[in-house]
Chains A and B, each alone.
Chain A
Amino acid sequence: MILIKRQLEYSGLIMLAMLLCLIPVSGGAAIQGISGTSFNFTASSGHISAADGDDVFFWGFGERGKLPQYPGPTLIVQQGDTVTIRLNNHLPQNTSILIPGFKVQASGGTPGQITREAPAASTTEVVYTFIADRPGTFGYYSGTNPDLQVEMGLIGAIIVRPSGFSSSAPTAYGDARTAYDDEFLFLLSEMDPEIHHAVEIGTDPVPTTGFHPVLWFINGRNGPDTMSANHVTWLPNQPYNAMPSIEVGKRLLARWVGGGRDHHPFHTHGNNYDLIARDGYLLETTAGASRPASELGTVPDLAVSDFTQNVAPGGSYEGIWSWTGAELGWDMYGHTGSETGVCEPGPAPPSTIVNGFDINTREYCLDHGKPLPVVLPNAQQLTFGGFYSGSPFLASEGSLPPGEGGNNPSAGYAFMWHSHNEKELTNNDIFPGGLMTIMIVNAPDM
């Protein structure tokens, strides 16, 4: 079953430049993946589409009978489930799956160096079984010739929901410290297409020591394809997008997984996040210990506030991110202060202020009605971004020259989330792209 909470939909043609033709109809999206306890995988080859236009030969895991995909299917399972993955293999060499973080039993197939393997070009299955005994975010990847096979694309992510998980009041680990309103997965990886080309033309042995990545991915896509919808027809082997959005004053759970062989420093524009867990282990002194979150609610007491997450190969990280607009020093909506029913002190008319924020607009009331502190230059002096609404104010649109803006019809605040190894914002020598996406903070649906 494919979990769809709210589907990102886009219409229009995706061009190479990110500035063109991205027209989200509605914001928000859940993590895409497959749920259950029993999964049938086949490893096979195909081509992925890099955002520089290249068609890159790859090896991927896929649901049996479907296309291989990059990354492999995201498995969404429940804590306590006994999870079984049956793998067979159409590739020309043996392959396997490692699931670090769990005690995995392997049977069938043939013996391998690290685990049992699915034999090459065969219908013989290897079966991996583990008890998902703790919640969190995890990676999985090939344990056979991983130097080559991870590079070729045999990677994926697993999300384990905590016991008692409720999609209407979701948490990452079962309590309020890890509660969130929306969640997004960021599986980071890189590729050297020369290696893929060598595999495709049958070079033996494949030269992997000269590894020189020139393509960088989030959830298997390069920017700007990261911002296209999930399951778009023109990316049949790359079904997952990576375009986060959240309403003002809500909690976002970011799940980062290091899927390749390089470290990537992932920078969250807009605000710090609180890192709440690493590799599925909460950052807490004792079970349940908490501290106030940087913005909203609580987080485990050893949570680390930061603005850039070093995502290491094989590592996973979870962070709570929010944007409240507190203390901007000006009214983010451009209110004049004379609006009725906004930031009204009590008791008559009834107060709309709780904890310093308006309960409807979620604005920071001490800044209500404060003007923008500067005068912006006229349009001829500015270059406009595709995600600019034409107005500095949230949920407002202003006039823009013909052809400018257009990617942000909800007029949210757009923040780039990206690798701060800035070299990685390219697609094989072409800027912009790579390990990059845009986060949209939207006004509440009032």
Chain B
Amino acid sequence: MKLFCRILITLVLLGSNNVLADVVVECPTWADPGHTQIDYTGGTFADGNSDGMIRADDGEITDPISATQVCLHLAAGDGLVNMADGYEQYMFGFANATGTAAADVLNTFMEGAVFPAPTIKVKQGDDVYITLTNVGMNRRPDLFDPHTVHWHGFPNASAIFDGVPDASVSINMGSSLTYFYHVVDPGTFMYHCHVEATEHMQMGMLGNLYVTASQDEVANGTVLGTYTKQAGDRFAYNDGDGSTRYDVDYPLQLAAFDPAFHDASLNVQTLPFADMDDKYPMFNGRGYPDTLAAAGALPYEHGASSPVSTLMTPTAGDRMLIRISSLSTTSFHTIGIFGLKMQVIGRGSRQVVEPYTTNSITIGGGESVDVIVDTTGTTAGDKYFLYATNLDHLSNDAEDYGGMMTEIQIQ
């Protein structure tokens, strides 16, 4: 069946080659020494350092349009992912196709979507090109859904690059659309597909996205108000006083799956929108205890898990930045850490005017909150649980002691 579908989709695409569909990666470069002509699609580049993106400042783009140019290529389609109780879920999602030759993208990434979507981490000031290629739904050849990238929270977004299908355009199966973002502000954002948003987001087209601050680049010893920058310091925002300083950061994206919805999708049944009821609350695509396992997909009897680990391993004394975002489609969640306090220093991709300390963060879909956890006073070997204090969210469907929970293991 899978082979048949793949052939069917390939035939549809081949039959319309160069007219209806075309995989085109846009990472524009200067075509001439005088920098008057732009070559939009013919540039030469490779992800030399395997960081998942092509960066001019890593020397990976010949003749870049800007010194801060970054190019990414996402494939959008379907895939499968295992929940922490072993249950395999059909999903829609993204995969990182950066560096894959255009001619190989459809075959490589068909049914290759991962959950959560690849984390996008860029720097303030970057000129980011994200090419999105719709590779089709291999398990659902009856679907011809377009896809988009919505950079949630992008300031002064243009409609054309906002990814809302009603407001502009979305990309059809077998074709590519390139988005452009001049990244002005640091902060914690998120991204997702906005096509048939209730369905595509419940199905898993969700990912972490954050922008590091230009204050990271200042020289050690630079005086920032009452603080002097030390080696290794990084900053959530351009605070001017070191107040958002951190040693180690962890993106923490909340999302949840309703297996009835996913199974209905796989089995070509009417989708239960009104009865949508999430049973798999997750951190970064995993339920506890899978959240603790190292990065890389965990093998299950059928398939594999999310590849993203959410184990947090600060050294005692570290200031941890946790970039919390929620793309849950049904619920608010409240997050707490048993034994450590959180200082809220950012929300909605901006530094907060008045930081405050708390034991709990309540967050709805589409919200982001940045918290600093100071591990001063802890000892190597200490273990703290970070979890949803909605205790019914600590489950993997019928399995208890699961869901939205991970550990902070002090080194």
Interface residues of B in 167-226 (CB under 8 A from A): 167-172, 174-182, 184, 194, 196-199, 201-202
Interface residues as binary, B117-160 with A (CB distance below 8 Å gives 1, 0 otherwise): 00000000001010000000000000000100000110111111
Alpha-carbon distance between A314 and B209 when the two chains are bound, in angstroms:
33
The reply to whether A384 and B169 contact each other, CB–CB distance below 8 Å, is yes
Interface residues as binary, A331-347 with B (CB distance below 8 Å gives 1, 0 otherwise): 01000000000000000
Q: A304-B352, A420-B365 are in contact. Are A377 and B177 (CB under 8 A)?
A: yes
Contact of A94 with B by CB under 8 A: no
Alpha-carbon distance between A438 and B368 when the two chains are bound, in angstroms:
22
Smallest beta-carbon distance B391→chain A, Å:
19
Contact of A59 with B by CB under 8 A: no
Contact of B276 with A by CB under 8 A: yes
Contact of B411 with A by CB under 8 A: no
The reply to whether B157 and A415 contact each other, CB–CB distance below 8 Å, is yes
Alpha-carbon distance between A109 and B65 when the two chains are bound, in angstroms:
74
Interface residues of B in 323-372 (CB under 8 A from A): 328-332, 347-350, 352-354, 362, 364-368
The reply to whether A413 and B159 contact each other, CB–CB distance below 8 Å, is yes
The reply to whether B28 and A327 contact each other, CB–CB distance below 8 Å, is no
The reply to whether A383 and B365 contact each other, CB–CB distance below 8 Å, is no
Give the nearest-CB partner of B147 in chain A.
A383
Alpha-carbon distance between A321 and B165 when the two chains are bound, in angstroms:
22
Smallest beta-carbon distance B373→chain A, Å:
21
Q: A214-B274, A377-B22, A423-B329 are in contact. Are A265 and B365 (CB under 8 A)?
A: yes
The reply to whether B350 and A387 contact each other, CB–CB distance below 8 Å, is no
The reply to whether B175 and A267 contact each other, CB–CB distance below 8 Å, is no
A302 is contacted by which of B179, B181, B354 (Cβ under 8 Å)?
B354
Give the nearest-CB partner of B328 in chain A.
A421
Q: A325-B158, A329-B182, A374-B179 are in contact. Are A438 and B166 (CB under 8 A)?
A: yes
Smallest beta-carbon distance B376→chain A, Å:
28
Q: A324-B156, A374-B178, A421-B329 are in contact. Are A302 and B164 (CB under 8 A)?
A: no
Residues from chain A with Cβ under 8 Å of B180 in the complex: 329-330, 372-374
Comparing A150-158, A232-240, A251-259, A424-432, the segment that makes contact with chain B is A424-432
Residues from chain B with Cβ under 8 Å of A271 in the complex: 155-157
Contact of A392 with B by CB under 8 A: yes
Interface residues as binary, A310-328 with B (CB distance below 8 Å gives 1, 0 otherwise): 1000000000000111111
Alpha-carbon distance between A329 and B368 when the two chains are bound, in angstroms:
25
The reply to whether A438 and B167 contact each other, CB–CB distance below 8 Å, is yes
Give the nearest-CB partner of B157 in chain A.
A270
Smallest beta-carbon distance A171→chain B, Å:
21
The reply to whether A423 and B198 contact each other, CB–CB distance below 8 Å, is yes
Give the nearest-CB partner of B353 in chain A.
A302
Alpha-carbon distance between A291 and B199 when the two chains are bound, in angstroms:
40
Interface residues as binary, A352-389 with B (CB distance below 8 Å gives 1, 0 otherwise): 00000000000000000001111111001111111110
The reply to whether B65 and A373 contact each other, CB–CB distance below 8 Å, is yes
Alpha-carbon distance between A19 and B199 when the two chains are bound, in angstroms:
18
Smallest beta-carbon distance A149→chain B, Å:
24
B366 is contacted by which of A19, A326, A420 (Cβ under 8 Å)?
A420
The reply to whether A18 and B169 contact each other, CB–CB distance below 8 Å, is no
Residues from chain B with Cβ under 8 Å of A415 in the complex: 157, 159, 162, 164, 167
Residues from chain A with Cβ under 8 Å of B166 in the complex: 18-19, 385-387, 414, 416, 432, 438
Contact of B21 with A by CB under 8 A: yes
Contact of B381 with A by CB under 8 A: no
Smallest beta-carbon distance A285→chain B, Å:
9
Alpha-carbon distance between A272 and B65 when the two chains are bound, in angstroms:
29
Contact of A278 with B by CB under 8 A: no
Residues from chain B with Cβ under 8 Å of A422 in the complex: 197-198, 201-202, 329, 365
Residues from chain B with Cβ under 8 Å of A308 in the complex: 348, 364-367
Residues of A contacting B: mostly: loop
The reply to whether A392 and B160 contact each other, CB–CB distance below 8 Å, is yes
The reply to whether B353 and A307 contact each other, CB–CB distance below 8 Å, is no
Contact of B4 with A by CB under 8 A: no
Give the nearest-CB partner of B22 in chain A.
A381
Residues from chain A with Cβ under 8 Å of B41 in the complex: 375
Contact of B40 with A by CB under 8 A: yes
Residues from chain A with Cβ under 8 Å of B158 in the complex: 325, 328, 332, 392, 413
Alpha-carbon distance between A277 and B22 when the two chains are bound, in angstroms:
50
Residues from chain A with Cβ under 8 Å of B167 in the complex: 269, 385, 387-388, 413-416, 438
The reply to whether B366 and A265 contact each other, CB–CB distance below 8 Å, is yes
Contact of A263 with B by CB under 8 A: yes
Smallest beta-carbon distance B193→chain A, Å:
11
Contact of B268 with A by CB under 8 A: no
Smallest beta-carbon distance B123→chain A, Å:
15
Most buried by A among B160, B167, B180, B354: B167
The reply to whether A377 and B175 contact each other, CB–CB distance below 8 Å, is yes
Contact of A305 with B by CB under 8 A: yes
Residues from chain A with Cβ under 8 Å of B273 in the complex: 423, 426, 429-431
Most buried by A among B153, B350, B366: B366
Contact of A188 with B by CB under 8 A: no
The reply to whether A376 and B177 contact each other, CB–CB distance below 8 Å, is yes
A374 is contacted by which of B40, B202, B367 (Cβ under 8 Å)?
B40
Give the nearest-CB partner of A224 in chain B.
B166
Q: A310-B364, A381-B171 are in contact. Are A429 and B348 (CB under 8 A)?
A: no
Contact of B19 with A by CB under 8 A: yes
The reply to whether A429 and B156 contact each other, CB–CB distance below 8 Å, is no
Smallest beta-carbon distance A190→chain B, Å:
12
Contact of A187 with B by CB under 8 A: no
Q: A381-B22, A423-B276 are in contact. Are A431 and B199 (CB under 8 A)?
A: yes
B184 is contacted by which of A304, A327, A428 (Cβ under 8 Å)?
A327
Interface residues of A in 399-443 (CB under 8 A from B): 413-416, 419-423, 425-426, 428-432, 438
Alpha-carbon distance between A383 and B26 when the two chains are bound, in angstroms:
19
Q: A385-B166, A415-B164 are in contact. Are A306 and B182 (CB under 8 A)?
A: no
19 inter-chain pairs at a CB distance below 8 angstroms, sorted by A residue, are A18-B166, A267-B366, A269-B164, A271-B157, A302-B353, A305-B348, A310-B332, A326-B184, A374-B26, A374-B129, A382-B169, A383-B146, A392-B168, A415-B162, A421-B331, A421-B365, A422-B197, A426-B274, A431-B196
Q: Which 9 A-B pairs have the closest CB atoms?
A: A420-B366, A329-B182, A306-B348, A265-B364, A392-B160, A414-B167, A381-B175, A420-B365, A422-B329
B residues adjacent to A (C-beta < 8 A): 16, 19-22, 24, 26, 28, 38, 40-41, 65, 127, 129, 146, 152-153, 155-160, 162, 164-172, 174-182, 184, 194, 196-199, 201-202, 272-274, 276, 328-332, 347-350, 352-354, 362, 364-368
Apart from A374-B26, A375-B26, 17 more pairs, CB < 8 Å: A19-B166, A270-B156, A295-B156, A306-B348, A310-B362, A325-B158, A373-B28, A373-B180, A374-B178, A374-B179, A375-B40, A375-B178, A381-B171, A383-B146, A415-B157, A426-B198, A426-B273
A residues adjacent to B (C-beta < 8 A): 18-19, 212, 214, 263-265, 267, 269-272, 291, 294-295, 301-308, 310, 323-330, 332, 371-377, 380-388, 392, 413-416, 419-423, 425-426, 428-432, 438
